[in-house]
Chains A and B, each alone.
Chain A
Amino acid sequence: MTLSGRDAYRDELTRLAATDPAVLCLEADLGGKGHPFQSAHPDRFFNLGIAEGAMIDMATGLAVAGYKPFVSTFAPFAALRAAESLKLTLGYLAAGVTVVAPYAGVSGAWFGTTHHCLEDFAVLRSIPGVTIAAPYGEADMRAVIREAVRSGRPHYIRTGRNAAYTSLGREGAELPPVNWEHPGDAGATCLVSVGEEGTRLALSARELRPESAHAHLTYLDHDHLASAAADLSRRHSRFVVVEEHRREGGVAEALALLLPQCEVTGVNAGHGWPVLGGDHHEVMAQLGLDLPAVLSALEPLDPTRV
């Protein structure tokens, strides 16, 4: 059985902490009861209560003193409420703090807009020096957590709620800038998938349009995207980026700037505010982020409409 992103995070961090005494786990009352890290390493687990800003800034103090704090709270509270702390800690100070943010996108679904976060890439990508990842599947998440512990660099890691996704295959233990799930033929339109639901939709679209290529991106900060863009443009020239994020500040926008010679379009959460209930996929559909939208984007542009 594959684990959800946040369960994989908790399990991998707990495992790594057994051999790295500098690893600490901080929560802001959203880690749930029975956190495996708390059970395995109670002296290094801190539930600081509902205090996201204080949690990230205290993690800064811990990191400067030599520890490797991993903090976790829902994406809207990490990326938006505590945005200034992230700017100062992850960016300016480059402190070795890792922020793991579940409930990204609209994975909070019927919990409502307060628990959605479609703006985190825009915030974090504008802060230089932060490694940004949106893993798909358990293996991806484990690899990202291992790298965060190994490198000690500031990380922002986005994941969803409780959904579990079957990992994509890849060669080697390290995550490449581009994971070519299906390289496709020259001239094919290439789906570029971002995050859990963006990748699910891209995989579904490719089943129906097997002539399409598919590239998955796990790391989304500027440096990684620059490497990915070079790799992408060596194989293809038309891309459809699928991401559970606003258009502004998202990955499609970044790739369009990095690939001026290519055609880059996006399927994203647009500008709407989902005000109705529903499950995760239903709320995404309210935003126009669904399989028909991806299939439509794969169709060649009608030159008479350009």
Chain B
Amino acid sequence: MTTLLDLGTPLAERAVQARKLVIDMAASPRGCHLGGSLSVLDILIAALHRASLDDGTQVVLSKGHAAAGLYAALHVSGILPENPAPLYGQLGHPYTGHPGPKVPGVLFPTGSLGHGVPYAAGWALAQRLGGRGGLGIAVAGDGELQEGLVWETCQVAAAQQLGNFVLVVDRNGGQNDGLVQDISPLPNLAARFAAFGFDTAEVDGHDLTALCALLSDDRSSARRPLAVIADTVKGKGVPAVEGKAGSHYVTIDAARAAKWKRMIR
């Protein structure tokens, strides 16, 4: 099912602008992980909005291959001053295909899947130790959940009662070689997290209002980590690629980029 983007709010306008930047990066000589960058964009914008409260919340994009989406979200959220699109993948600039700590707003290197989840859990533990109310928010892909390190961390986070650790799953159903369902399915996902001792929520991952509501909670006294399973569409917002497995990594020309940017919905 393809829902319409949540439009008409300042955050929604950011999301539209960010999608245009991602398309620009797909039109660079390097191309980019387009499908996953577009599926995760609304999650990132909502999470960065929570982080803008300056309460110590940190957002870690664990599915680092969606770097183009992260750079775009950081820019439209005002964290990354320069426009990363013309510099993406270029010599002398830090906007690599997977993000690293030279990028303003990025504290951890991600892209080797699984690591961003414990980075965020460690950040959450640090907030708790410091008596702050900030969250450690990890944004992972659903395919990424096939990595053992994710579940190792869920076990630890639940045991440590890290209520300020939030794992948002960008459930777009795709991974590099095809569909999660065909390669290594993850049925009953919410029940899995609940069995680990997490609070769980399922949400339309393109509904910025719902995402912001979930991430705005004060979890400083929570004792169960939170798993947010966000249903998303690969390539979201660009009709030509929405829901298509072939959108995983895309390189396009300038004319097509201009056309796609006009058609964002």
Chain A contacts to B: CB under 8 angstroms: 24, 43-44, 46, 48-49, 51, 53-55, 57-67, 84-85, 88, 92-93
Contacts and interface: CB of A to CB of B under 8 A. Distances in A.
A49 B124 contact: no
Contacts of B117: 57
A57 B149 contact: yes
B233 interface: no
B119 interface: yes
Interface string B112-143: 10110111111111110110000010000000
A-B pairs, top 10 by smallest CB distance, nearest first, are A61-B122, A65-B126, A57-B118, A58-B122, A61-B123, A54-B152, A54-B153, A51-B152, A54-B118, A61-B119
B114 to A, nearest CB: 8
Interface of A is mostly: helix
Contact of B112 (A49, A61, A62, A88): A88
Contacts, number: 89
A49 B126 contact: no
A60 B153 contact: no
B204 to A, nearest CB: 29
Interface residues of B, number: 30
12 contacts: A49-B155, A53-B149, A57-B118, A57-B119, A58-B121, A58-B122, A60-B108, A61-B121, A64-B108, A64-B122, A65-B126, A93-B108
Greatest chain B CB density within 10 A among A46, A62, A67 is at A62
Nearest to A94: B101
B122 A57 contact: yes
B109 interface: yes
B156 interface: yes
Given A54-B149, A57-B153, A61-B125, A46 B119 contact: no
A59 B121 CA distance: 9
Nearest to A24: B129
B121 A84 contact: no
B152 A53 contact: yes
Contacts of B120: 61
B100 interface: yes
Given A61-B118, A93-B101, 17 more contacts: A53-B114, A54-B149, A54-B156, A55-B156, A57-B115, A57-B117, A57-B119, A60-B122, A61-B108, A61-B119, A65-B58, A65-B130, A67-B129, A84-B112, A84-B115, A85-B115, A88-B109
A48 B157 CA distance: 9
A57 B159 CA distance: 16
A57 B119 CA distance: 5
Nearest to B110: A88
Greatest chain A CB density within 10 A among B100, B118, B122 is at B122
Given A54-B118, A60-B119, A93-B109, A67 B126 contact: yes
A51 B153 CA distance: 8
B160 interface: yes
A18 to B, nearest CB: 17
B155 A51 contact: yes
Nearest to B120: A61
